[in-house]
Amino acid sequence: MIKEAIEKILTMARPEVVEIDAREYLLKGRDPAVEVYPKTIQINNLSGIVDYCSEDPEEIGSFLVHVCDYNNVYVYTPMHGPFNIRPELIKASARLCGFNFGIPYGYEDFVVAMHTNFVQNEDRDYVLKFIGSVRVDANSKIEDDGISQTLTAKQGVSSLVKDIPIKNILTLKPYRTFSEIEQPESVFVFRMNVADGKPVFSIHEADGEAWKQAAIERIKDYLLRRTGPQEIAATVSIVA
């Protein structure tokens, strides 16, 4: 008796499939009865997409690569079936930058963060050399007119107190997108303050996020240049 009741409940719970205009729908809620596809492959680089594009195109067929933004790229099959489903095959996500923009750092943490999160260039080296050359104490102070800063402190091995100008506008290249492409360069504001006799440093984004569009274009260019030869490239559509 109990077995029959359970079987009856299970039968009632199964959604009924109806066909309307050659398309199947689940009767409960009229949801489309779509096919089940494999789970999306999750990767963290662009080379995996290039490797996939280099497989036998006759076996794989054509597909679409969508550069969604600076840190996400998707690979889809063409639309097919009565509901024009476009299954997602691969999702490539770049590892995010570990630097906290706009947040003050102490000396040691700032030095480590600059080394590990930024590509070496002239302005990155300037900041590291500058903060390592000044000696800040309780008598140090910073004058700030809203445009530039001047630090009153000792510099180098000298015991003399100097007024030291601080270069506030920097051009830096943080690691913010896929490692296979050249990291976009953008403008930042460098700020230094003295708290309880100790220096603190922060870097603030100042380019209106224009770097994101530059990253998208570089990702697209990277994929276009590496999905050849011609017969393979003909099966791949790359959009940004």
pLDDT digits (tens, 9 = 90+) for 191-240: 998 877 788 999 999 999 999 999 999 999 999 888 876 666 667 777 87
- pLDDT 10s digits, 9-51: 445 555 666 676 666 665 565 555 566 677 899 999 999 998 8
- pLDDT 10s digits, 115-138: 999 999 999 999 999 988 877 776
Domain assignment of residue 173, yes or no = yes
Residues of the chain with pLDDT > 90: what percent? Answer: 43
| 206 in the same domain as 122 | yes
* Length, in residues, of the chain: 240
Cα 10 from Cα 3, distance rounded (Å): 11
Q: What share of the chain is helix, strand, coil (3-state, %, to 5)?
A: 30, 35, 35
Domain assignment of residue 72, yes or no = no
What residue type is assigned to position 220 of the chain? K
Q: Give 151's pLDDT tier (boundaries 50, 70, 90).
A: confident
| 122 in the same domain as 206 | yes
What pLDDT is stored for residue 10 in this prediction? 45
CA distances to 41, 111, 123, 154, 240 from 187, in Å: 35, 19, 10, 28, 24
Domain assignment of residue 77, yes or no = no
What pLDDT is stored for residue 45 in this prediction? 94
Instruction: Print the domain residue range for 205.
Output: 107-211
Higher pLDDT, 36 or 176: 176
Domain assignment of residue 91, yes or no = no
Give the closest residue to 203 by CA, choosing from 126, 93, 89. 126
What CA dihedral angle connects 226, 174, 121 and 203, to 10 degrees? 160
Domain assignment of residue 59, yes or no = no
How many domains is the chain built from?
2
Domain assignment of residue 9, yes or no = yes
Domain assignment of residue 113, yes or no = yes
| 29 in the same domain as 112 | no
Structure tokens at 117: 């999160």
Asked if pLDDT for residue 153 goes beyond 80, the answer is: no
- Report helix angle 107-117 to 122-133, nearest 10: 160
Domain assignment of residue 51, yes or no = no
